[in-house]
Amino acid sequence: MYPVRRQVSRHAARLRRERTDVEQIIWLAVRSRRLGGFKFREQHTIADQYVADFACLEARLVVELDGGHHDPTIDAPRTAVLEARGYRVMRFWNSEVIENRVGVLETILAALLERTAK
- 100 Cβ contact partners less than 8 Å away, ≥ 6 residues apart: none
Instruction: For residue 70, give the nearest of 20, 9, 12 by alpha carbon.
Output: 20
Q: Are the beta carbons of 92 and 62 closer than 8 angstroms?
A: no
Residue 4 is predicted with a pLDDT of 39
Cα distance between residue 105 and residue 54, in whole Å: 13
Residue 59 is predicted with a pLDDT of 98
Chunked into runs of 10 residues, the chain (118 residues) has average pLDDT values of 49 62 96 98 89 96 89 87 96 96 98 93
Q: Are the beta carbons of 18 and 5 closer than 8 angstroms?
A: no
CA 93 to chain CA mean position, Å: 13
- 97 Cβ contact partners less than 8 Å away, ≥ 6 residues apart: 22, 25, 26, 65, 104
Q: What is the CATH number of domain 15-116?
A: 3.40.960.10
Cα distance between residue 101 and residue 105, in whole Å: 6
